Amino acid sequence: MLLVRLLLLCAIVYILFLVLKSLVLGRKGKSPDATQLGEAMVLDPQCQTYVPKSEAVSREGKYFCSEECAQRYLAARA
Ligand SMILES: [Zn+2]
């Protein structure tokens, strides 16, 4: 029964290869926003909006979409 197991193993390896291949091709086809921009998105806890980290306003370790949101958030928390 060793030959059967060997064939079964080959089949599993082949299926895994096909799955991996389709995953790689699938990634090439699509363009994920995060990796395409090459920039992290941060969540504004005040208005629940995602903004690029470079455009975000940083206050006390949190990121906001604008100075207004930062002030509102910190005022509400105080
Ligand atoms: Zn905001």
Which pTM value belongs to this model?
A: 0.51
Reported confidence tier of residue 78, pLDDT bands at 50, 70, 90: confident
Give the DSSP H/E element, type plus range, for residue 16.
Answer: helix 2-29
Distance 73 CA to ligand 1 centre (A): 9
Are 25 and 48 part of one and the same domain? Answer: no
Are 43 and 75 part of one and the same domain? Answer: yes
Are 47 and 18 part of one and the same domain? Answer: no
Q: Which domain holds residue 17?
A: 1-30
Confidence (pLDDT) at 77 = 80
Are 75 and 53 part of one and the same domain? Answer: yes
Distance 39 CA to ligand 1 centre (A): 18
Are 6 and 24 part of one and the same domain? Answer: yes
Are 54 and 26 part of one and the same domain? Answer: no
Distance 60 CA to ligand 1 centre (A): 15
Are 42 and 78 part of one and the same domain? Answer: yes
pLDDT per residue over 18-63, tens digit each? 988 888 887 665 555 544 557 899 999 999 999 999 999 999 999 9
pLDDT per residue over 67-77, tens digit each? 999 999 999 98
**DSSP notation for 38-66:** TS-EEEETTTTEEEETTTSEEETTEEESS
Q: Which of left, alpha, beta for 60 (phi over 0: left; psi -120 to 50: alpha)?
A: left
